[in-house]
A and B are shown apart, each in its own frame.
Chain A
Amino acid sequence: MKFLAEYRDPKVAHRLLDEIRSAVTRPWVIMEICGGQTHAIVRNGIDELLPTEIELVHGPGCPVCVTSLELIEKAQAIASIPDLIFVSFGDMLRVPGGRKDLLTVRSEGADIRAVYSPLEALKIAKEHPDRQVVFFAVGFETTAPNTAMLVAQAAREGVGNLSLLVSHVLVPPAMTALLDSPRNRVQAYLAAGHVCTVMGWQQYEPIARKYSVPIIVTGFEPLDLLSGILSAVRQLEAGDANVENRYARMVSREGNRTAQQQVGEVFEICDRAWRGIGVIPRSGLRLREKYQAFDAERRFAAIDLQVAESPDCISGVILQGLKKPAECPHFGKRCTPSIPLGATMVSSEGACAAYYLYHRSQPRVKD
């Protein structure tokens, strides 16, 4: 296990901040893609330490936040089927649907289990051969290889009582969708380091070229984030638009080929609805025909859904970097992590939750 202290060194951090200050001459808007980066930025107060010219806007890289309301409702409906075991990452349990969340469904009697790894769903399925087990497969390219492994292994072992509700999403199509929007403000991206460990950074090269945006592969510790921001500022100031890897200890250009092959074997690309944003073409993964037997949406097709998003939640605008959480009139009032109006207030990667937890009011800290 790699220790983290060297990526949190305050002296180096302040040197990087000095370099950022001396590099910047005018305002720039930089988007960090990943919700994990948003939380790290706000938790460490990095946004407050940056020169005022640099505005960080928070991207859609929170799989929990962008899972469509329809799939959340479908998950609740499937989880409520008697005798079924519904398996999910913990974060998904608190995401509000139209009327309630999965935790409420659990307290009403459903057997819903939080896991850290998709393969636990296989174990549960084998322990309960007489019960249907459904795994809520949520996540970006980072978690897709684990889901693919679950499907491949279940197929190999002939585990018939397991199926998946698949909501996997892909990052690059969302990045281009934001850049294509007439309201786009983003001038440079900090690409999500974890996603790049799997996918590499080749796929960003055409995006950087076509849209003339610098894309910096960035990690999650304070020094990772600061050096990513510094690279972005230097490129913006110089008029460059290259892909640059500032997370080299984890990421290579090609990424993890084995994991990519595993995903390609099990999944194919499809259009996917993103909560708050809408359908983005070719931005999701679905099971290939060969693995359709594991598709929970097919297995439990006869489910009647009524879907209605809270009209008061502006998470879609926040996920596109057009507004900050505190600009929402309901932020911290009607909408808190206890009673979230939308998914961005829920997840450990949601931007509203980050602001609520760490930034809600400026602490009066001076003596």
Chain B
Amino acid sequence: MSDSPPEPIDLADCPLPIAPHDTIQMGHGAGGRMTQSLISRLFRWAFDNEALNKLDDMAVVPLDGSKLSVSTDSFVVDPIFFPGGDIGELAVYGTVNDVAMAGARPVYLTAAFIIEEGLPLTDLTRVVISMRDAARRCDVTIITGDTKVVPKGKGDKLFITTTGIGVVTHPHTISGSNLQPGDKIILSGSIAEHGMAVLSKREGMRFEIPVESDAANLHPLVCPLVRTFGAGIHAMRDATRGGVAAVLNEFAAGSKVGIRIQEQAIPILPAVASACGMLGLDPLYVANEGKMLLSVAADRADQILTMMRAHPLGKNAAIIGDVVAGSAGLVSMQTLLGSWRIVDVPLSEQLPRIC
């Protein structure tokens, strides 16, 4: 590996200096337009390669005759314990789900811990046990890791980075760049629960929302779908940071198609809808940790939906819209009243640090 400084020509070519901000803002990490801009203008520009340029949450790469699905994710959620889960469980499920979204079987995980000086050992133990149990449930092995401690005030309790590796045994292309006009869009269940559960535990929130995080391992839901329907599944993505709106916009942009959804078809618990209303949040933008969106061939959509609904993780699955040619990159929604509006990319932080 070379440690030589970048050539001056590199810096001159770097497109970032024309960005509106000359320092990193919270919004650059929020999964919306600012994040997209940072990724495409800096990381994609610098690292440019075929696997990365698909901009899926995981990369599918060939290795010695087999195909691997690889994903990495950092978890900085605040608070580290919340209704229905904690940062450790999230760090396992989040990465396992990203690996699984290629239709892969997740096999191995690595885990790196950045720990703030002063963190109670009991808290760390609780998190690690929760990771162990989550990994067992996902049937993955945590095979290596790293530990760093930073001085008090230089971190926020605990940050975890996990990398997942899975095996792809099917020949199909399942990617956010593979949506086809005519596809049906399926959502696996009710939305916005993780984000609202975490928010309800934030310091200063004065009401309890009777909702738990939906954090879950999606592989058991995905695996039989891919095995049974294979080529009928064109894209899958778990709707985490940025919510359903972010994924739909990534799909539409990645495949240069339009997506139309129906507001009345979107499953949401009444208590979650009310809480979002009170706080002025649009549930389409609120994070989930156990929900996914699929784009599937129209002639298989009903069968796929039936299979999903038979599984506990997909019992509230619904077809929420379809894919159209033209209006590339545009996601629109028919409101409850029958009019149409845009569902835009989230701009920046709606809620800070919930995954």
Interface residues of A (CB under 8 A from B): 1-5, 8, 10, 13-14, 36, 42-46, 48-49, 94, 103-104, 106-108, 114-117, 119-120, 123, 222, 337-339, 348, 356-365, 367
Contact = CB atoms under 8 A, between A and B. Distances in A.
Looking at B27, B204, B326, B332, the one whose CB has the most chain A CB atoms below 10 A away is B204
Looking at A2, A46, A361, A365, the one whose CB has the most chain B CB atoms below 10 A away is A365
A13 B336 CA distance: 9
A338 B20 contact: yes
Interface in B331-355: 332, 334-342, 344, 347-348, 352
B280 interface: yes
Contacts of B154: none
Q: What 3 A-B pairs come out closest when comparing CB atoms?
A: A45-B339, A363-B332, A120-B204
B231 to A, nearest CB: 25
A44 B336 contact: yes
15 contacts: A1-B271, A3-B270, A4-B273, A8-B336, A44-B339, A49-B338, A103-B27, A114-B352, A117-B204, A120-B204, A338-B33, A338-B348, A356-B344, A362-B340, A364-B258
Nearest to B22: A104
Given A1-B278, A338-B20, A363-B341, 15 more contacts: A4-B273, A5-B273, A8-B336, A36-B280, A45-B340, A94-B348, A103-B25, A106-B26, A107-B21, A108-B23, A119-B204, A222-B336, A222-B337, A357-B342, A363-B258
A363 B336 contact: no
Contact of A10 (B264, B326, B327, B344): B264
Given A103-B25, A338-B20, A358-B342, A43 B274 contact: no
Contact of B341 (A8, A117, A123, A358): A358
Nearest to A8: B336
Given A13-B337, A116-B279, A360 B342 contact: yes
Contact of A120 (B203, B330, B334): B203
A4 B341 contact: no
Contacts of B271: 1, 3
B205 interface: yes
A365 B25 contact: no
B26 A103 contact: yes
B274 A348 contact: no
A261 B304 CA distance: 60
Contacts of B26: 103, 106-107
Contacts of B341: 42-45, 358-359, 363
Contacts of A114: 352
B337 A10 contact: yes
B34 interface: yes
Nearest to A221: B277
Nearest to B28: A107
B320 to A, nearest CB: 15
Given A3-B274, A115-B204, A48 B339 contact: yes
Given A3-B274, A120-B204, A348-B280, A45 B335 contact: yes
A235 B277 CA distance: 30
B235 to A, nearest CB: 21
A364 B326 contact: yes
A44 B335 contact: yes
A43 B344 contact: no
Contacts of B234: none
B9 interface: no
B126 to A, nearest CB: 25
Given A104-B25, A357-B342, A43 B33 contact: no
A302 B18 CA distance: 35
B115 to A, nearest CB: 23
Contacts of A108: 23
Interface in B11-31: 20-21, 23-27
B206 A363 contact: no
